[in-house]
């Protein structure tokens, strides 16, 4: 009887132990399954945040690529977009290397929401500035057209009669108009025949008009003529004058007696060492001291 009681007690104890073991296994399995599900959910959440950040970075890339920097306002806005894109990229890099847990994901989501608000504001400002930039470009085009029309009008005035000198009255300096440079063939008789052929020419003739100016005192005056050949050499004497820190190389000095009225002047430069003049474009400049007051170009073939 006693042995039966002992045997029964062992069976009951063994049953309880087995039940506890099975219960512990089930509980442990349940915990593991729950952990795996939580980790998978965290990974999915992390991927969603990463996807949102990447999409935001792409929006910035598009806005930056569409910007044509044409003024300081739009340039500054473009830099703001670049800086904001850099902050997003830094957050993406940090998220890629971080461990997926609820605390860190919540922190990243908060930062994402903050960056989303910033992006909405920056893109609105950028669109407004682009509209302003289009309007500014249109205004600048209109201004350029007006300036071009005025320049054409001014150029036409430069070829008017010597009476144009009245326009520049009020400045006590000599001015010139109708500057022309061309090559001539000078015969032994003194007759001059204009030519465009470098080999046939033996002199270059420079003609211009000194405009009347009531503020300039009558008397002896001089202007400096500079002639530059196609090889960038200065023809004639190639003398040099110093005006403070500035240096002027000139071909010839045109000296004349100014009597407070319009005066037509022509000067000549001959060949150097009997060599033919170079073919190409020649530049003629007239200086009053170190100030260039007229310019002209002509070509020899």
What is the residue range of 125's domain? 2-138
Residue 144 placed within a domain: no
Q: Are residues 226 and 261 in the same domain?
A: yes
Among the candidates 78, 103, 138, a domain finishes at 138
Q: What is the pLDDT of residues 133-161, one digit of tens each?
A: 667 666 666 777 677 666 766 666 565 54
Whole-angstrom distance, CA of residue 77 vs CA of residue 131: 13
Q: Are residues 35 and 100 in the same domain?
A: yes
CB 176 within 8 A of CB 223: yes
Determine if residue 31 is left, alpha or beta; phi over 0 gives left, psi from -120 to 50 gives alpha, anything else beta.
Answer: alpha
The yes-or-no verdict on residue 162 having pLDDT over 50 is no
Instruction: Work out the number of other CB atoms within 10 angstroms of the CB of residue 181.
Output: 21
- Structure-model confidence comparison of residues 148 and 249, the more confident one: 249
Q: Are residues 210 and 275 in the same domain?
A: yes
Indicate the pTM of the whole model.
0.44
Residue 43 placed within a domain: yes
Q: Are residues 9 and 75 in the same domain?
A: yes
Residue 20 placed within a domain: yes
Q: What is the CATH number of the domain that holds 214?
A: 2.60.40.10
Residue 148 placed within a domain: no
Q: Are residues 207 and 259 in the same domain?
A: yes
Residue 209 placed within a domain: yes
Residue 252 placed within a domain: yes
Q: What is the pLDDT of residues 2-55, one digit of tens each?
A: 556 556 666 666 666 656 666 565 555 555 555 555 566 666 776 777 777 787
Q: How far apart are the first and last CA of the chain?
A: 143
Residue 182 placed within a domain: yes
Residue 149 placed within a domain: no
> Rounded mean pLDDT of 90-102?
68
Q: Are residues 8 and 100 in the same domain?
A: yes
- Reported confidence tier of residue 100, pLDDT bands at 50, 70, 90: low
Q: How many domains does the chain have?
A: 2
pLDDT at position 27: 54
Q: Are residues 201 and 275 in the same domain?
A: yes
Among the candidates 99, 122, 138, a domain finishes at 138
Q: Are residues 66 and 124 in the same domain?
A: yes
Q: Are residues 10 and 132 in the same domain?
A: yes
Q: Are residues 80 and 20 in the same domain?
A: yes
The yes-or-no verdict on residue 167 having pLDDT over 50 is no
Kindly tell me the burial class for residue 285, based on how many C-beta atoms sit within 10 Å of its own C-beta (0-12, 13-18, 19 or more): buried
- List CB contacts of 216: < 8 A, sequence separation 6 or more: 172, 173, 174, 258, 260
Q: What is the pLDDT of residues 260-287, one digit of tens each?
A: 889 999 999 888 767 889 999 999 999 9
- Looking at the chain, the whole-number percentage of residues with pLDDT higher than 70 is 60
């Amino acid at each position: 009887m006693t042995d039966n009681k002992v045997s029964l007690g062992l069976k009951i104890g063994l049953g309880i132990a087995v039940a506890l073991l099975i219960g512990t296994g089930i509980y442990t399995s349940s915990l593991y399954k729950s952990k795996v599900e939580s980790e998978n959910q965290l990974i999915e959440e992390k991927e969603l945040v990463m996807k949102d950040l990447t999409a935001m970075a792409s929006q910035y890339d598009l806005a930056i690529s569409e910007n044509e920097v044409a003024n300081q306002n739009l340039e500054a806005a473009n830099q703001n977009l670049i800086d904001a894109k850099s902050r997003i990229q830094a957050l993406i890099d940090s998220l890629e290397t971080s461990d997926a847990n609820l605390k860190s994901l919540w922190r990243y989501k908060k930062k994402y929401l903050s960056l989303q608000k910033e992006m909405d504001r920056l893109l609105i400002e950028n669109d407004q500035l682009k509209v302003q930039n289009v309007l500014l470009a249109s205004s600048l085009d209109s201004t350029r057209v007006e300036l071009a029309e005025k320049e054409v009008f001014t150029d036409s005035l430069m070829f008017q009669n010597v009476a144009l000198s009245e326009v520049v009255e009020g400045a006590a300096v000599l001015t010139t108009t109708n500057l022309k440079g061309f090559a001539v063939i000078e015969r032994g008789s003194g007759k001059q025949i204009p030519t465009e052929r470098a080999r046939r020419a033996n002199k270059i003739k420079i003609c211009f008009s000194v405009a009347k100016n009531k503020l300039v005192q009558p008397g002896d005056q001089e202007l400096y003529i500079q002639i530059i050949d196609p090889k960038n050499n200065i023809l004639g004497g190639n003398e040099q004058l110093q005006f403070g820190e500035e240096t002027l190389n000139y071909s010839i000095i045109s000296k004349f007696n100014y009597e407070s009225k319009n005066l037509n002047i022509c000067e000549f430069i001959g060949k150097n060492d009997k060599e033919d003049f170079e073919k190409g474009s020649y530049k003629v400049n007239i200086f009053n001291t170190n100030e260039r007051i007229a310019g002209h170009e002509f070509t020899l073939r």
